[in-house]
Amino acid sequence: MSDSTGNIGQSWFTEFHTPHAGLTLRITEHLARKQSPYQLVEVMETVEYGTLLTLDGMVMLTDRDEHVYHEMMTHVPMLAHPNPKRVLVVGGGDGGCLREIVKHPSLEKVTQVEIDGDVVDLCKKHFPDVAQAYSNKKVELVIGDAIDYLRRYKGEFDVAIIDGSDPVGPAVGLFERSFFTDVHDALKPDGLMSCQIGSPLYSHERIASTLKHWREVFTEAKAYLAHIPTYPSGVWCLGLASREPGGSSAQPNQVRFRTFSESLRYYTLDIHKGAFALPADLARVAT
């Protein structure tokens, strides 16, 4: 979630969100550091946020706030969809979206396509709660390139969750228009896609251009926001796109929500609706 990284002293990790601003966290231990074929994967123990995963120096998740991202990426499309049975996750190697997806009683099968097997292995070891759903029988894990994988499927999925990293490194292709066309085509006619986009403070232009691309491909596309303290600026913009009119503004299903609502720490039915309220300056470029 930045373009540079560094350490201040021996026991601090700092992610510079721009060359001029950053979040600095006290660390007590380097738990893992592996250069995979795709990226530098690091796991550290922080005092304030628990265990931290970084890819190429960018914060991907911490124990303390990962639930916000995973609940909002998952339950917004899953509860807006009338009956999600077949789900695709692109990226998401930590397993956090899977943990939330398998809570849905309508689920028959979820396929996750992650390019970097080292991320999966390290998360199973260091984030056992996040990665708990890898042992679930409804979960199929494919280690491979989602861009190639997607082209094989037409009208297959109810929900697609695009949980890639930022558009640097291996995730660059996940922000191109051709990729979103393939996602659109792999969805059933009433299918929904969620996808992380960027910081409403630092990535105004990326948010505007991403939504513009989606609207050329999908029938509807909307941005929504979630409070993720360890991501740049503390709030992150996600998006929801729909093949059919009204799909992205459908009311979340209350009956299904109640089957797992006690497990949730961020998502509520009110948050689902309120998250689509955008600040005036973002609304001017993104609606």
Give me the residues that bind its own copies (CB under 8 A), please: 8, 14, 18-26, 46-49, 65, 68, 200-201, 225, 227, 229, 233-235, 261, 264-268, 270-271, 273-281, 283
2 or 112: CB nearest its own copies: 2
Identify the active-site residue in 56, 94, 118, 163: 163
Smallest separation, CB 198 to its own copies (Å)? 13
Tell me the longest C-alpha to C-alpha distance in the chain: 54
Smallest separation, CB 68 to its own copies (Å)? 7
Task: Please list, residue by residue across 23-46, b when 16 or more beta carbons sit within 10 angstroms of its beta carbon and e when fewer do.
Answer: bebebeeebeeeebebbebbbbbb
CA distance 188 to 185: 8
**Residue 68 structure tokens:** 């916000």
Smallest separation, CB 58 to its own copies (Å)? 16
- Whether 163 is a known active-site residue: answer yes
Smallest separation, CB 129 to its own copies (Å)? 16
46 or 165: CB nearest its own copies: 46
144 or 274: CB nearest its own copies: 274
208: Cβ contacts below 8 Å, ≥ 6 apart = 285, 286
Strand order in the sheet with 86-91: 139-143, 109-114, 86-91, 157-163, 187-198, 235-242, 220-227
Lookup result for tokens 């056992």: 128
CA neighbours closer than 13 Å in the CB half-sphere of residue 143: 10
Smallest separation, CB 275 to its own copies (Å)? 7
CB 159 within 8 A of CB 126: no
Catalytically active residues are 163
